[in-house]
Amino acid sequence: MRIVLVGPPGAGKGTQAKIIAGRLAIPAISTGDIFRANVGAGTPLGLEAKGYMDKGLLVPDSITIGMVRDRLADPDVAGGFLLDGFPRNVAQAEELESILVGLGTKLDVVLELVVDNDEVVKRIAGRRLCRNDSTHIFHVDFQQPKVPGVCDVCGGELYQRDDDKEETVRERLAVYERETAPIVGFYAEHGLLSTIDAMGSLDEVTERALAALNDR
């Protein structure tokens, strides 16, 4: 099965991508993984991308699309894939369609994770990370430390990243609505869209997504 997963920041795309792909025994492919692989391997596209990133500039669509094209030609995706983080706009969605036509295949479904903006803000703005180890993550509502402001694991100070502050989260949501949300309409017109309620527990959302896939 060939799947694209879309949704706003904080909808749980990364986590659900890994779980769903694991259940279906297909690779979960994120743009972050593709970028790191190309930059780490020093591929021509990776070197181009690094040049932009080192200057603090956005990597052009042409480079991102080239990396995705190369990744989708790898043998391990012959039986299917789940794309997370691509496409981000209608132009990329059209390019993806062209790539898949060139590979003699097409998308089966686009899963849209839907979550209320206020819930997104609550999920992200409530995160607190340990200054000693950023993998130690807590939440002011959902996973409180035993001692406020102190990491349960190592005793380090807990803090809120600038990217997790409410005003930043709301700006990210505005960018999503402006740039990425239009692909929902694009895929709905193509009859590929399945909408998933992303409110509730992790397992509940996973089961809803799998049920939608079974209906295809």
Considering the candidates 36, 131, 161, 216, report the single residue annotated as catalytic.
161
67: how many CB neighbours lie within 10 A of its CB? Answer: 23
Residue 216 annotated as catalytic: no
Catalytic residue among 88, 122, 165, 170: 88
Backbone angles phi, psi at 19, to 5 degrees: -65, -50
What is the DSSP-derived secondary structure letter of residue 57?
Answer: P
161 is catalytic: yes
Q: Is 127 a catalytic residue?
A: yes
Q: Hey, what long-range contacts does 178-185 have (CB within 8 A, 24 or more apart)?
A: 179/88, 179/89, 180/6, 180/8, 180/88, 180/89, 182/89, 182/90, 183/6, 183/87, 183/88, 183/89, 183/90, 183/92, 183/93, 184/6, 184/110, 184/112
Per the annotation, the verdict on 208 as an active-site residue is no
Say whether 13 is catalytic.
yes
Given 13, 71, 123, 128, the catalytic residue: 13
Could you list the active site residues? 13, 88, 127, 161, 172
